[in-house]
């Protein structure tokens, strides 16, 4: 993380996974301002042809010995986010994707 802007990214113990690079960077900025840094930041994109799935990213962060927690930023009603609930990592995570503000026709 040393090559990134130190006002946004600070090395610590949170892994951050985001389908949106801009939103993920904003999450990292807010974590850094709160004194919480990042061990890993993975932008997995939301395009139809992606190379890394949410499950792949969670596995990578699970293997990161510095990561003690994960922040997952997904898409409202995204299929990968729904599948994430059924992964072993979901059982150990203190939070899960929220759809509180989703339109009624989306989860």
pLDDT range class, residue 70, cuts 50, 70, 90: confident
pLDDT range class, residue 2, cuts 50, 70, 90: very low
Q: If one looks up domain 11-92 in CATH, what number appears?
A: 3.40.50.261
Q: Which two tokens stand for residue 3?
A: 């090559």
Q: What is the pTM of this model?
A: 0.69
Whole-angstrom Cα Rg for the chain: 14
- pLDDT confidence of residue 38: 92
pLDDT range class, residue 28, cuts 50, 70, 90: very high
- Sign of the C-alpha dihedral, residues 43, 13, 69, 88? positive
Which residue bears the tokens 């499950």? 55
pLDDT range class, residue 1, cuts 50, 70, 90: very low
Other Cβ atoms less than 10 A from the Cβ of 31: the count is: 20
């Amino acid at each position: 993380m040393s090559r990134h802007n130190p006002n946004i990214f600070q090395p610590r113990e949170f892994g951050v996974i985001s389908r949106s690079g801009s939103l993920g960077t904003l999450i990292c900025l807010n974590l850094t301002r709160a004194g919480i840094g990042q061990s890993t930041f993975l932008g997995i994109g939301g395009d139809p042809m992606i190379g890394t799935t949410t499950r792949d990213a969670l596995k990578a962060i699970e293997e990161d010995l510095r990561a003690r927690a994960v922040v997952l930023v997904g898409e409202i009603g995204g299929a990968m986010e729904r599948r994430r609930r059924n992964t072993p990592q979901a059982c150990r995570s203190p939070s899960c994707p929220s759809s509180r503000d989703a339109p009624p026709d989306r989860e």
